[in-house]
């Protein structure tokens, strides 16, 4: 029952928080619960993180006739993501402390957290899918109800794209189970068993394509990314932190957890295609980010670029690459989550997001400038901070396979400087423009500084000493790596 | 044991100074932040000198001392450990860097005294110093790369220190972007090494070089050279250095003259074993070094802004060092690197003193052009004296340091035996003495009719700025004698001054000085006159033979492509696609609603027709 | 075997006539007549084959069908009566309000 | 041959309902003003007694006319449940609606128990006629009269076709028993197929499948919401039962063994009709502004999905597919009842009235959103689980194309379900949005609670197995 509490506690708390009479009470309860879940996840999983003991921490119920079994487990790749989700939920709730929103706002965050925990923990494809779709409903309401001006259109587009993806995922999963039954005569949805029997033949390609499409919409991969900028820009700050922080990782997690182990040869065959798409993601995200005039939309496109690095890493199918990819998932959560928090704080004060709306903030709000510069550098991939470790490992992994893709991926690092620094300079260094609101912006208060210091310490720690995390991922990664 | 704690201070002194400065001095004594920084610089200098003496006297076995601190990351088959490597090469350069940094820290304390964000300046300044020290003593490529970009970041922050100025912001971003291009090449080289050997430690890499395939080796060597070329402002990627002069003068002195820009040459010197495996890259390095040196000398001779001339002079001297590396003369390059560190820093400090002293009279302009200044030697005797010593050293007049290091380089070039290379090298030497003495004459000696600026009533800068200038003057003069110790520390044979080469060098230097004297003092209006006579020649030279405008056009093109991609492509095609998809289904619905318009008879008609259709298909088909 | 042909012919034509009434006529009363025609066509079939086989159950079935048809007519006529009261004329184009 | 006599005890579950019918009418005679509530109580008591008797009543019997127990009992239980929901939530004055409902219920029970085509026809008539009257009776006005007339004529044509098909079958085989053999022994002749198609069309009409669906939106729009709920659940289920009875015939109709099809050629055209129904239902629902009409088209779309489930059941014939159909019908029962009752309580019929309702009545809006999510098939809800079972059986039965069609249509469905949620949650309240939240009374509140509970059963994939064991006790 230990693992079940990770997703059951926030789900139960969601109902309680929603029903509480006063808004302040429900806000406090939400923060308490999310902090509790974070502490619990750290306490529960930390001792196991050290040794091989991870897979022993498993729970599974009786297998029903359909072969569906309630089966939770955690391994090297899922563990950091659980921590990340718990951390970001707590931080985003703390960050939107001053927002005047109904109880449902806090309840949907807890619902989102429980669904994400479910996705990262479940080893059974059916429950994986249930949690996968359950994560979309709260996010739809977060974007739709409490977003900024264009929220309705963004919420609808978000819903349309993600449901298209999840439908393709449903078909793929069901077909995979039937195919597996055809091959072995056993009905099972458990990832462990599915990996044992190789899936071959033409049908496997169709199943692989359906699953890949389902995951690709969520990452998002280049052609299917159109929902991301609108969803991120219109979502409230805390919403985009959760969306960028952990929701985008569901797709990559799906690749790592389902496609790579169950279809090793097909993944190897798809390497140039999907690796190439990863590189396209990197460059396309960077180019679009360069041309944005809205700060939040710029950060949204950088997510596309960062996840491109994850994709390149994962689809290099080398131990270094996959370790880099999964580490970059974590880093992206921290740095882009941090950036969204900062932009949220800016929006909270001035209700404006344009690059030209601010100016010379470095002199007015030096603390804010320091945090923004630090987290932006981590997002650009400055060595010594966490972004660099993920990108370097992913590209080094890909370099072992195809030097061209690695070189093009590295080009993304140059473009990162091209979108990062001008944005920083426009907001903090350039003199205030005509309609600038810089004079209205006060510096960060204690609460905001505490939140950002947490992120700062993590970013610096992973940057300077990533070894414990990499050793944590080692068993799960070497299982997937093919070279 | 002593060595361990000496190496320890190399890292802990700057780190503790920074932490102290950030958490303690910034909130409480912002005007005093330079004290911890000075202390740490002094500590590092003492430690490096102690280590240098240890290595020089052979008390450290094998001339190099390596310690692996901790395992940074492990992924798949290879491990990356962070550690410290102190050998002849690193300690000699570190000695110069720490010494020059200490002096410039003192100078900066005086120069930046009235600046409002004094504390922020020193935090950035010392962060640079930490990164530079880290870069010099790291024992593997990855750790070197971490500090390599740290130095890049420090230069970005310091160039853009006065961020109110538009030019400073643009220069900072340009510097960081160009450096990033070089860093990416460096990183790709590291990937190739990791892929081939699974490790990036210098000692291991150099031992297992034969394991690498020749194509990987050439690619790695070439990419390393690109990385170094960006940092040391060689021809294709030098565009950022002249603009970097927007930063405060101590920054230009320390980073863009003495230490940071030499990091590229240091990287080439460090990876000499790899370069020696690939003769093609060495030849390319020599060619590019020479080309840069000559081009920069020509442009430097024409510039009017004091600091721009010195910037191009740095590019030219770096070209010479790369030429030395290209001819396989490691000792020449390192010796020139060290001596150049001293006299170029001195030149910049003198320029700084000139700017500082004329500051109030020039309404806040942060730089002085040759036209504003003139005949300053009377008001600034000390500065002009020091400038003269540094100029003599730069052009390579015998007793001073420049002569010995430039001679070492010329020895190497003559040793290659190619006549054309030697002549061009001599020409470069002549050029360097021409532009420095032109600057000397125009700024300090004769006053000229076309002088636009106010008759300068500068006053000698304060004590804190004069001491470093004098100290550096002494070093510029005495550094020549460091030849043997450096050679011994590097493990190379002692330099021998062949009469022919030194005479030719001295002759060309003298020629340059005379030409400068002829062009400025004897015909006072000439410098001004030819500019109006050939405006297009001035424009070409001003534009780095058209290279500056080309890179600007390239940047605009990339930004335009991005705007095209993000604007019409993202908005129109994708949004339109999703809307169209939705509209088609709603349209289908409208069409179908034609059949259900409420008439009972129609309903019944469609029912009966449907039943008949079903019946006919079932009956006929089965 | 021409007698079975005759029966099939009669009931088939009756059924089609009823369907035609139902679809083509606009007055609701005529459409109810169409319904009755369709039911009687079926009844004709049942009675004809029950007679040939001498199967009493078949005849009982025909009786049952007639009763059901009567019930149906009652319900139909009561609805149309209400429509007459409301609209004054039991026309099928009077009831076109619900659509879309 | 004289058929052997059938003991009255076979009809034990139906007797209390008939008694309640009579009691309700008598109640009407005595107390004028409170006759409605009295009738409802008597009716509910009768139905509950009937359901109780279903379990402890007569053992499994299989006479020539009717059957009792086994599968018939399961369907009858389902119809009783739907009737109870109607009685609990219905509020009209007089006692006629209760009586008519009980009559329709008896008709459905007869269809479930029918062993003979004539019994099937009688059940169909007994179910349909009261429903026509209910459409008009509950709220006598021009619109409901028009709907009733349309429903009557369409129903009349369908039962006419059924009867004609029956007569052809009787002419060919000489018996009206729902057993295979007779005409079939000489191989599938064209007469048998014609008979089957005509009878099948009547079933398809009752269900609202593609060529016969035109009446459904008008009737759902004009009739009372609780009747709409009753029709979209119970009457639709009866239609599916008829279709399954016809396609299988009774003798091999034990759910465990596989089927000897009475009419083997059902497999060819059922997929076509199912895909057509799904697509037409969804496409037309996209453009609706009247909520009841929209729920009508959404019910048509669900019929399409169910038809593909029937096709798989008919092709494969194992118990699992039947359980899928039951689970789907069960889920529809709760979803549609919840949705229709929400419309009745909130007094909303137009989409524009729904604008910004979330801020006016958050809990009611949350309930309706849950119903819509279940109708749309979003994971945590039972609607998703039902659709998942159908897709699962289709993939297992080899119907890849149908599975893809079901998936695509559920995306289409999301178009209007999510849009309603958006309108309700994201828009600002318009001037026509009802001000105060709805106040359900005890009975309706109970029904709504059951709907909400049932909607969240999406977590338990074994739900289908439990339902199957419950039904075949």
Supply the pLDDT for residue D266. Answer: 60
**CA-closest candidate to residue D321, choices D271, D256, D382, D384:** D256
Chain B neighbours, 3+ Cβ pairs < 8 A? A, C, D
> What's the pLDDT at B360?
61
Select from A227, A23, A229, A245 the least CA-distant residue to A113: A245
Q: How confident is the model at residue D255 (pLDDT cuts 50, 70, 90)?
A: very low
Indicate whether A459 pLDDT > 90. yes
Q: What φ, ψ does residue A46 adopt, rounded to 5°?
A: -60, -50
Whether the pLDDT of residue D173 is over 80: the answer is no
Q: Three-class SS string for D123-156?
A: HHHHHHHHHHHHHHHCCCCHHHHHHHHHHHHHHH
**Rounded to whole angstroms, how far apart are CA atoms B290 and A476?**
53
Q: Which of B603, B611, B613 sits opposite D215 (nearest CB)?
A: B603
| D296 pLDDT above the threshold of 90 | yes
Chain D residue nearest residue A68, CA to CA: D461
Query: Is residue B599 within 8 angstroms of chain C, CB to CB?
Result: yes
* Percent of chain B clearing pLDDT 70 (strictly above): 95
Residue D455 scores a pLDDT above 90? no
pLDDT of B365: 57
Confidence check: pLDDT of D185 > 50: no
- What is the reported pLDDT for D261? 45
Spell out a b/e string for B92-106, using b for 16 or more CB atoms within 10 Å of the CB, else e.
bbbbbbbbbbbbbbb
- D160, C39 contact by CB (below 8 A): yes
Whole-angstrom distance, CA of residue A255 vs CA of residue A176: 15
Residue A460 belongs to domain spanning:
265-483
Token code pair at residue A102:
């109904």
Interface contacts (A, D; CB < 8 Å): 76
Q: Is the separation of the CB atoms in D265 and D134 below 8 Å? A: no
- pLDDT bracket for residue D472 (50, 70, 90): confident
So what's the pLDDT on residue D8? 80
Q: Where are the alpha helices (DSSP H) in D231-318?
A: 236-248, 266-286, 291-316
Minimum distance, in Å, between the CA of residue C57 and any CA atom of chain D:
8
Q: Write down the pLDDT at residue D263.
A: 54
Distance between CA atoms of D438 and D447, rounded to whole angstroms? 15
- pLDDT (tens digit, 9 = 90+) per residue, D343-394? 988 888 888 888 888 888 888 888 999 999 999 888 878 998 899 889 888 8
Interface test with A, best of D358, D379, D390, D402 (most A CBs within 10 A): D379
Beta strand B78-87 with D67-68 is unpaired
User: How far is the C-alpha of B61 from the C-alpha of A153, rounded, in Å?
Assistant: 71
Tokens of B492: 């190379």
**Percent of chain C at pLDDT above 90?**
56
D196 contacts B607? CB cut-off 8 A? no
- Token look-up 């379900």 returns D417
D412 reaches B (C-beta below 8 A): yes
Structure tokens at A354: 């344009």
Average pLDDT, chain D: 84
Per-residue pLDDT, averaged over D153-181, amounts to: 84
Domain extents in chain B: 305-535, 553-621
Question: Looking at the partner chain, which of C26, C92, C99 has a beta carbon nearest the beta carbon of B596?
Answer: C99
Residue B418, helix vs strand vs coil: coil
Touch criterion met for A and C (3+ Cβ pairs within 8 Å): no
**For chain C, domain boundaries:** 2-90
Query: Could you tell me if D98 and D43 are in contact, meaning their C-beta atoms sit under 8 angstroms apart?
Result: yes
| Helices and strands of chain D, counted as H and E runs | 19, 2
CB-CB: which of A157, A323, A481 is closest to B578?
A: A157
Closest CA relative to residue D202, chosen from D238, D230, D168 = D238
Compare CB distances from D287 to B589, B613, B617 and report the shortest one's residue. Answer: B589
**A301 touching chain B per CB within 8 A:** yes
Residue-averaged pLDDT of chain A: 87
Q: Is pLDDT above 90 for A151? A: no
Residue with tokens 């290659």: B416
Give how far D463 is from chain C: nearest CA, Å. Answer: 38
Instruction: Name the 3-class secondary structure at A75.
Output: coil
- pLDDT of D186 > 70? The answer is no
B597:C97 CB<8 A: no
Which of B503-517, C59-73, D253-267: highest mean pLDDT?
C59-73
Disruptive mutation site among D64, D116, D153, D162 for chain C (greatest number of C CBs within 10 Å): D153
Distance CA A166, CA A187 (A): 22
CB B437 within 8 A of CB B395: yes
Distance between CA B356 and CA B379 in Å, rounded? 13
Q: What value does the mean pLDDT take over residues A44-66?
A: 67
Residue B528 tokens, joined = 């001004």
| Inter-residue contact B519 to B431 (CB < 8 Å) | no
| Tens of pLDDT, residues A166-196 | 888 988 888 888 888 888 878 888 888 888 7
Confidence of residue D442 (pLDDT cuts 50, 70, 90): confident
The verdict on residue A360 lying in a domain is yes
Whether D182 shows a pLDDT value over 50: the answer reads no
Nearest to B197 by CA among B273, B91, B264: B273
B40: region left, alpha or beta (phi > 0 left; psi from -120 to 50 alpha) = alpha
What is the separation of C-alpha B193 from the centre of its chain, rounded to a whole number of angstroms?
24
D379 close contact with A: CB closer than 8 A = yes
Q: What is the pLDDT of residue A451?
A: 92
pLDDT mean over B56-66: 78
Inform me whether the C-beta atom of residue B591 falls under 8 Å from chain C C-beta atoms. no
Cα–Cα nearest to B144, from A386, A397, A417, A384:
A384
User: Which of A278, A297, A277 is CA-nearest to residue A288?
Assistant: A297
Q: Is the peptide bond before B312 cis (omega within 30 degrees of 0)?
A: no
Decide if D285 touches B, using CB distance below 8 A: yes
**HEC readout, B318-376:** HHHHHHHHHCCCHHHHHHHHHHHHHHHHHHHHHHHHHHHHCCHHHCCCCCCECCCCCCC
- Residue contact C96–B597, C-beta within 8 A: yes
DSSP string, D426-451: HSPP-TTS-SSPP---HHHHHHHHHH
Contact criterion met (CB < 8 Å) for D268 and B598: no
Give the pLDDT of residue A311.
92
State the sign of the Cα–Cα–Cα–Cα dihedral D335, D338, D341, D342: negative
Q: Higher model confidence: residue A341 or residue D69?
A: A341
| Residues above pLDDT 90, as percent of chain B | 13
Judged by CB atoms closer than 8 Å, whether chains meet at A470 and B164 is answered as no
Dist CA D340 CA B79 (whole Å)? 66
What does pLDDT average to over chain B? 85
The answer on pLDDT for B565 being more than 80 is: yes
Q: Quick one: how far is CA C68 from the chain centroid?
A: 11
User: B226, B98 in Cβ contact below 8 A?
Assistant: no
Whole-number Å distance between alpha carbons of A336 and A249: 13
CA angle at D252 for the pair D110 and D183, rounded to the nearest 5°: 90
**Reported confidence tier of residue A54, pLDDT bands at 50, 70, 90:** low
Scan for tokens 């629902």, then name that residue: D285
* pLDDT > 70? residue B44: yes
The model's pLDDT over C19-28, given as tens digits with 9 standing for 90+, comes to 999 999 889 9
Contact D426 A171 (CB under 8 A): no
Rounded-to-integer distance, Cα B262 and Cα B239, Å: 16
CA distance linking residue B519 with residue B514, whole number of Å: 9
What's phi and psi for B63, nearest 5 deg? 70, 0
Against chain C, the chains showing at least 3 CB pairs within 8 Å are B, D
DSSP letter for B493, please.
P
Decide: residue A153, CB within 10 A, 0-12 exposed, 13-18 middle, 19+ buried: middle
The dihedral built from the CA positions of residue D267, D272, D275 and D277, taken in this order, carries a sign that is negative
In a domain, A158, yes or no: no
C-alpha to C-alpha distances, B546 to A14, A292, B559, nearest whole angstrom: 65, 30, 20
CB spacing of B191 vs A399 below 8 angstroms: yes
Residue A294 contacts residue A355 (beta carbons within 8 Å)? yes
pLDDT at A74: 84
Q: Report whether CATH 1.10.287.3510 matches the domain C2-90.
A: yes
Torsion of the alpha carbons at B423, B429, B433 and B434, rounded to the nearest 10: 40
Backbone angles phi, psi at A71, to 5 degrees: -135, 115
Name which of C42, C87, C98 is nearest D167 (Cβ-Cβ).
C42
CB contact under 8 A, A384 and B164: no
Contact C46/D at CB under 8 A: yes
Radius of gyration of chain C measured on its C-alpha atoms: 17
**What are the domain boundaries of chain D?**
11-212, 265-473
Chain segment D196-211, per-residue pLDDT in tens: 888 888 999 999 998 8
Asked if residue D277 lies in contact with residue D213, where contact means CB atoms within 8 angstroms, the answer is: yes
Q: What's the average model confidence in pLDDT over A414-434?
A: 87
Partner chains of D (3+ C-beta pairs under 8 Å): A, B, C
pLDDT of residue A69 exceeding 90: no
The pLDDT, as a whole number, for residue D243 is: 86
Q: Hey, how many other C-beta atoms are within 10 angstroms of the C-beta on D73?
A: 25
Residues of B in contact with D284 (CB under 8 A): 589, 592-593, 596
Task: Give B75's strand partners.
Answer: B78
Q: Are D293 and D220 in contact, with CB atoms under 8 Å apart?
A: yes
D419 contact B CB<8A: no
Q: Does residue C71 sit at the B interface (CB-CB below 8 Å)?
A: no
Q: Which residues pair with B140 in a beta bridge?
A: B201
Residue B281 in contact with residue B213, Cβ under 8 Å?
A: no
Compute the nearest-CA separation of A189 from chain B (Å): 30
From the list B168, B166, B126, the residue with the least C-alpha distance to B14 is B126
Measured between CA atoms, how close is C79 to chain D, in angstroms? 6
Chain B residues near residue D211 by CB distance under 8 angstroms: 606-607, 609-611, 613-614
Question: How open is the CA angle B516-B520-B521, to the nearest 5 degrees?
Answer: 105
Note the pLDDT tens digit of each residue in B576-622. 777 787 788 888 888 888 887 878 888 888 889 988 888 888 777 65
CA distance C40 to chain D (A): 9
Give Cα separations from A407 to A395, B242, B355 (angstroms): 8, 29, 45
Partner-chain contact D380 A126, CB within 8 Å:
no
In this structure, the strands spanning D61-62 and D67-68 are antiparallel
Round to whole Å and give the CA distance between A342 and A357: 15
CB D293 within 8 A of CB D225: no
Q: How many Å apart are CA A40 and CA A63, to the nearest integer?
A: 28
Kindly state whether C77 is in contact with chain D, defined as any CB-CB distance less than 8 angstroms.
no
* B191, B373, D227, D339 from D344: Cα distances, Å: 69, 92, 11, 9
């Amino acid at each position: 029952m230990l693992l079940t509490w990770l997703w059951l506690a926030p789900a139960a708390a969601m109902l309680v928080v929603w029903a509480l009479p006063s808004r302040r009470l429900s806000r406090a309860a939400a923060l308490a619960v999310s902090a509790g879940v974070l502490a619990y996840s750290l306490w529960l999983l930390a001792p196991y993180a050290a040794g091989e003991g991870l897979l022993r921490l498993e729970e599974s119920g009786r297998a029903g006739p359909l072969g569906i079994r309630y089966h939770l487990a955690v391994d090297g790749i899922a563990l950091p993501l659980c921590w990340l989700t718990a951390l970001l939920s707590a931080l985003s709730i703390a960050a939107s402390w001053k927002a005047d929103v109904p109880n449902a706002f806090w309840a949907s965050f807890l619902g989102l957290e429980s669904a994400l925990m479910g996705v990262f923990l479940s080893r059974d494809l059916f429950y994986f899918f249930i949690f996968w779709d359950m994560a979309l409903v709260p996010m739809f309401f977060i974007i739709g109800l409490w977003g900024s001006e264009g929220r309705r259109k963004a919420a609808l587009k978000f819903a349309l794209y993600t449901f298209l993806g999840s439908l393709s995922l449903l078909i793929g999963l069901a077909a995979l189970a039937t195919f597996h039954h055809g091959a072995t005569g056993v009905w099972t949805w458990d990832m462990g068993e599915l990996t044992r029997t190789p899936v071959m033949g033409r049908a496997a390609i169709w199943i692989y394509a359906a699953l890949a499409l389902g995951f690709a919409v969520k990452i998002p991969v280049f052609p299917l990314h159109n929902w991301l900028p609108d969803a991120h820009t219109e979502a409230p700050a805390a919403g985009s932190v959760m969306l960028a922080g952990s929701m985008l990782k569901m797709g990559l997690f799906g690749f790592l957890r389902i496609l790579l182990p169950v279809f090793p040869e097909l993944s190897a065959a798809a390497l140039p295609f999907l690796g190439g798409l990863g590189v396209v993601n990197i460059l396309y995200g960077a180019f679009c980010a360069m041309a944005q005039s809205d700060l939040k939309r710029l950060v949204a496109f950088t997510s596309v670029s960062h996840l491109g690095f994850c994709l390149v890493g994962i689809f290099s199918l080398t131990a270094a690459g996959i370790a880099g990819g999964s580490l970059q998932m974590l880093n992206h959560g921290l740095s882009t989550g941090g950036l969204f928090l900062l932009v949220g704080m800016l929006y909270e004060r001035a209700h404006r997001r344009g690059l030209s709306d601010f100016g010379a903030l470095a002199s007015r709000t030096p603390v804010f400038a320091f945090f923004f510069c630090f987290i932006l550098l981590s997002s650009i991939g400055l060595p010594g901070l966490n972004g660099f470790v993920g990108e370097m490992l992913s590209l080094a992994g890909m370099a072992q396979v195809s030097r061209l893709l690695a070189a093009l991926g590295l080009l993304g690092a140059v473009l990162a400087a091209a979108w990062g620094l001008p944005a920083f300079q426009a907001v903090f260094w350039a003199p205030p423009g005509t309609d600038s609101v810089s004079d209205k912006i006060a510096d960060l208060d204690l609460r905001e500084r505490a939140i950002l210091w947490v992120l700062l310490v993590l970013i610096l720690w992973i940057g300077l000493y990533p070894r414990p995390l990499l050793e944590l991922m080692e068993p799960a990664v070497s299982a997937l790596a093919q070279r | 044991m002593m060595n361990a704690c000496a190496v320890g201070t190399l890292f802990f002194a700057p780190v503790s100074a920074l932490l102290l400065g950030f958490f303690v001095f910034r909130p409480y004594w912002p005007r005093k932040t330079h004290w911890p920084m000075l202390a740490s610089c002094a500590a590092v200098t003492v430690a490096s000198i102690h280590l240098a003496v240890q290595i020089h006297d052979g008390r450290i076995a094998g001339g190099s001392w390596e310690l692996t601190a901790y395992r940074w990351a492990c992924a798949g088959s290879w491990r990356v450990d962070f550690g410290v490597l102190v050998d002849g090469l690193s300690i000699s350069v570190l000695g110069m860097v720490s010494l020059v940094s200490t002096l410039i820290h003192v100078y900066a304390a005086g120069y930046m005294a009235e600046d409002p964000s004094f504390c922020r300046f020193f935090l950035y300044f010392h962060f640079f110093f930490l990164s530079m020290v880290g870069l010099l003593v790291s024992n593997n490529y990855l750790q070197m790369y971490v500090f390599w970009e740290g130095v890049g970041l420090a230069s970005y922050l310091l160039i853009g220190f006065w961020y109110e100025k538009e030019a400073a912001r643009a220069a900072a971003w340009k510097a960081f972007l160009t450096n990033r291009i070089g860093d990416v090449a460096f990183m790709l080289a590291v990937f190739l090494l990791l892929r081939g050997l699974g490790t990036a430690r210098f000692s291991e890499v150099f031992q297992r070089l034969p394991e690498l395939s020749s194509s990987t080796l050439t690619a790695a060597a070439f990419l390393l050279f690109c990385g170094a070329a960006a940092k040391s402002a060689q021809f294709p990627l030098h565009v950022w250095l002249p603009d970097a002069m927007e930063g405060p003068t101590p920054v230009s002195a320390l980073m863009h003259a003495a230490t940071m820009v030499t990091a590229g040459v240091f990287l080439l010197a460090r990876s000499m074993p790899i370069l020696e495996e690939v003769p093609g890259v060495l030849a390319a390095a020599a060619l590019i070094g020479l080309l840069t040196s000559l081009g920069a000398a020509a442009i430097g001779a024409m510039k009017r802004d004091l600091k721009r001339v010195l910037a191009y002079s740095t590019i030219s001297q770096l070209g010479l060092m790369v030429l030395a590396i290209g001819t396989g003369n490691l000792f020449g390059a390192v010796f020139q690197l060290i001596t150049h560190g001293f006299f170029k820093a001195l030149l910049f400090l003198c320029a700084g003193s000139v700017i500082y002293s004329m500051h109030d009279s020039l309404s806040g302009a942060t730089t002085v052009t040759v036209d504003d200044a003139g005949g300053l030697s009377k008001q600034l005797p000390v500065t002009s004296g020091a400038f003269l010593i540094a100029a003599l050293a730069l052009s390579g007049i015998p007793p001073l340091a420049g002569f010995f290091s430039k001679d070492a380089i010329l020895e190497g070039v003559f040793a290659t035996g190619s006549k054309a290379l030697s002549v061009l090298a001599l020409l470069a030497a002549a050029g360097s003495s021409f532009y420095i003495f032109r600057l000397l004459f125009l700024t300090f000696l004769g006053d000229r009719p076309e002088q636009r600026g106010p008759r300068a009533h500068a006053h000698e800068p304060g004590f804190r700025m004069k001491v470093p200038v004098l100290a550096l003057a002494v070093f510029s003069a005495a550094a020549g004698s460091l030849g043997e110790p450096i050679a011994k520390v590097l493990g190379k044979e002692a330099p021998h001054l062949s009469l022919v080469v030194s005479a030719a060098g001295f002759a060309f230097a003298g020629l340059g000085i005379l030409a400068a004297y002829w062009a400025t003092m004897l015909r006072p209006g000439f410098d001004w006159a030819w500019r109006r006579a050939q405006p297009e020649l001035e424009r070409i030279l001003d534009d780095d033979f058209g290279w500056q405008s080309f890179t600007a056009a390239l940047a605009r093109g990339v930004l335009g492509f991005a705007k095209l991609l993000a604007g019409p492509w993202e908005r129109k095609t994708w949004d339109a696609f999703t809307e169209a998809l939705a509209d088609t289904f709603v349209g289908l619905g409208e069409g179908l609603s034609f059949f259900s318009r409420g008439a009972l008879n129609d309903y019944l008609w469609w029912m009966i027709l449907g039943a008949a259709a079903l019946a006919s298909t079932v009956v006929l088909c089965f | 075997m021409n007698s079975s042909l005759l029966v099939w012919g009669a009931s088939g034509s009756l059924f089609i006539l009823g369907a035609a009434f139902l679809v083509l006529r606009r007055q609701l009363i005529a459409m109810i007549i169409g319904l009755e025609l369709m039911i009687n066509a079926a009844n004709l079939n049942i009675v004809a084959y029950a007679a040939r086989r001498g199967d009493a159950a078949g005849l009982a079935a025909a009786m049952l069908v007639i009763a059901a048809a009567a019930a149906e007519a009652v319900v139909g006529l009561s609805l149309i009566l209400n429509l007459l009261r409301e609209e004054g004329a039991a026309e099928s184009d009077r009831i076109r309000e619900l659509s879309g | 041959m004289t058929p052997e006599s059938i003991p009255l005890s076979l009809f034990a579950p139906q007797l209390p309902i008939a008694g309640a019918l009579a009691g309700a009418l008598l109640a009407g005679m005595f107390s004028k003003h409170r006759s409605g509530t009295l009738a409802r109580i008597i009716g509910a008591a009768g139905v509950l007694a009937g359901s109780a008797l279903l379990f402890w009543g007569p053992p499994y019997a299989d006479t020539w006319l009717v059957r009792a127990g086994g599968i018939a009992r399961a369907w009858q239980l389902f119809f009783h449940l739907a009737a109870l929901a109607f009685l609990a939530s219905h509020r009209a004055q007089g006692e006629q609606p209760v009586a008519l409902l009980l009559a329709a219920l008896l008709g459905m029970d007869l269809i479930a128990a029918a062993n003979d085509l004539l019994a099937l026809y009688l059940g169909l008539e007994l179910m349909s006629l009261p429903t026509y009257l209910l459409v008009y009776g509950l709220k006598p006005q021009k619109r409901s009269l028009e709907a009733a007339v349309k429903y009557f004529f369409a129903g009349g044509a369908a039962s006419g076709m059924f009867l004609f098909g029956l007569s052809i079958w009787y002419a060919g085989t000489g018996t009206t028993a729902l057993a295979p053999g007779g005409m079939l022994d000489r191989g599938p002749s064209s007469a048998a197929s014609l008979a089957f198609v005509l009878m099948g069309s009547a079933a398809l009409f009752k269900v609202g499948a593609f060529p016969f669906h035109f009446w459904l939106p008008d009737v759902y729009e004009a009739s009372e919401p609780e009747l709409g709920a009753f029709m979209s659940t119970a009457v639709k289920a009866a239609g599916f039962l008829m279709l399954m009875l016809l396609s299988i015939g009774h003798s091999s109709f034990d759910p465990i063994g596989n089927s000897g099809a009475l009419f083997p050629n059902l497999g060819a055209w059922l997929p076509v009709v199912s895909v057509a129904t799904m697509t037409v239902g969804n496409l037309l629902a996209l453009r609706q502004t009247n909520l009841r009409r929209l729920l009508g088209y959404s019910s048509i779309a669900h019929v399409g999905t169910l038809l593909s489930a029937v096709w798989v059941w008919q092709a494969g014939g194992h118990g699992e597919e039947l359980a899928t159909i039951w689970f789907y019908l069960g889920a529809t029962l709760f979803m549609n009842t919840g949705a229709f009752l929400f419309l009745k309580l909130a007094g909303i019929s137009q989409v524009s009235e729904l604008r910004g309702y979330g801020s006016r009545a958050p809990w009611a809006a949350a309930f309706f959103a849950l119903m819509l999510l279940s109708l749309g098939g979003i994971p945590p809800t039972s609607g998703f689980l039902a659709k998942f079972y159908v897709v699962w059986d289709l993939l297992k039965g080899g119907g890849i194309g149908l599975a893809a069609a079901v998936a695509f249509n559920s995306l289409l469905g999301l178009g209007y379900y999510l849009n309603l949620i958006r309108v309700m949650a994201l828009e600002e309240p318009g001037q026509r949005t009802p001000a105060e939240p709805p106040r359900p009374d005890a009975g309706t509140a109970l029904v709504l609670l059951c709907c909400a509970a049932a909607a969240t059963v999406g977590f338990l994939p074994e739900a289908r197995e439990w339902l199957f064991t419950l039904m075949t006790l």
